[in-house]
């Protein structure tokens, strides 16, 4: 079994389709892990979620793993009437436009397709294997995995990235965009800024082989 981890998509459906067409994971046995931030900023947030829901329906549930990103957390807060400005300030308007035609309730609140509501509610805060920890933002140094709080798992940046702490396993993360994947002894960052005109990255493990699709320069990634 191989593991494939894909970085922050942010509504860039075309890059995702091209990437998986190239990588061709065998999803009857391989594991495909999405690191979070499927929505916001890009043009096709709802379509990305449709694509992921379709994948999950076609293959064994344990082989398609979808983690929660901070943008999904903000969207869920928005739907509950909380922190609306924060969601909109961070690119949420494009997501609302994608869902606009689906429906609104009598109070002017957005109604999600039922399968989308289930998708967002079932997103995992992290995923672990004997060799790796997969998480959207990162981990608080010196805190055991089971004691990490969701805010750090989804939002942490500099403190985690600068840390040389031994987290027990290699941490694969997104959230913080780099021009090319960040590879360190204790962590691998795979958000390569697809929505900012760079590219979407897929990491194959345990080989640590990288694949990319996008508008950026991707030679010798």
Confidence of residue 115 (pLDDT cuts 50, 70, 90): very high
Number of other CB atoms surrounding residue 116 within 10 Å: 17
Tokens of 51: 């694509």
pLDDT at 110: 81
pLDDT at 53 over 80: yes
pLDDT at 203 over 80: yes
Whole-prediction pTM value?
A: 0.94
CA 71 vs CA 23, 29, 60, 93, 180: distances in Å: 26, 29, 26, 12, 22
Cα(221)–Cα(103) distance, integer angstroms: 42
Q: What residue has token string 């969207």? A: 75
Q: Does CATH number 3.60.21.10 belong to domain 3-125+179-214?
A: yes
pLDDT at 109: 72
Cα(100)–Cα(141) distance, integer angstroms: 41
Long-range contacts (CB closer than 8 Å, 24 or more residues apart) made by 217-221? 221/180, 221/181
Query: What are the boundaries of each domain within the chain?
Result: 3-125+179-214
| Angle CA 160–20–46, to nearest 5 | 75
pLDDT in tens, 15-52: 999 999 999 999 999 999 999 999 999 999 999 999 99
Cα(36)–Cα(125) distance, integer angstroms: 9
- Give the three-class secondary structure for 128: strand
pLDDT at 101: 66
């Amino acid at each position: 079994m191989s593991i494939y981890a894909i970085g922050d998509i942010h509504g860039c459906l075309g890059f995702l389709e091209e990437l998986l067409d190239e990588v061709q994971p065998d999803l009857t046995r391989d594991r495909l892990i999405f690191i979070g931030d499927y929505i916001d900023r890009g043009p096709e947030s709802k379509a990305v979620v449709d694509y992921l829901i379709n994948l999950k329906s076609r293959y064994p549930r344990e082989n398609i793993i979808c983690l929660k990103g901070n943008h999904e957390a903000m969207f869920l807060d928005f739907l509950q009437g909380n922190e609306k400005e924060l969601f909109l300030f961070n690119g949420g308007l494009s997501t609302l436009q994608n869902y606009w035609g689906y429906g609104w309730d009598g109070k002017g609140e957005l109604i999600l397709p039922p399968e989308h509501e289930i998708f967002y509610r079932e997103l995992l805060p992290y995923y672990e294997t004997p060799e790796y920890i997969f998480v959207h933002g990162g981990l608080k140094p010196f805190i055991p995995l089971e004691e990490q709080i969701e805010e750090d798992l989804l939002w942490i940046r500099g403190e985690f990235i600068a840390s040389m702490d031994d987290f027990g396993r290699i941490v694969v993360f997104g959230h913080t965009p780099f021009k090319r994947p960040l590879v360190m002894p204790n962590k691998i960052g795979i958000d390569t800024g697809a929505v900012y005109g760079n590219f979407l990255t897929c990491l194959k493990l345990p080989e640590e082989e990288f694949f990319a699709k996008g508008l950026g320069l991707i030679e010798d990634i």
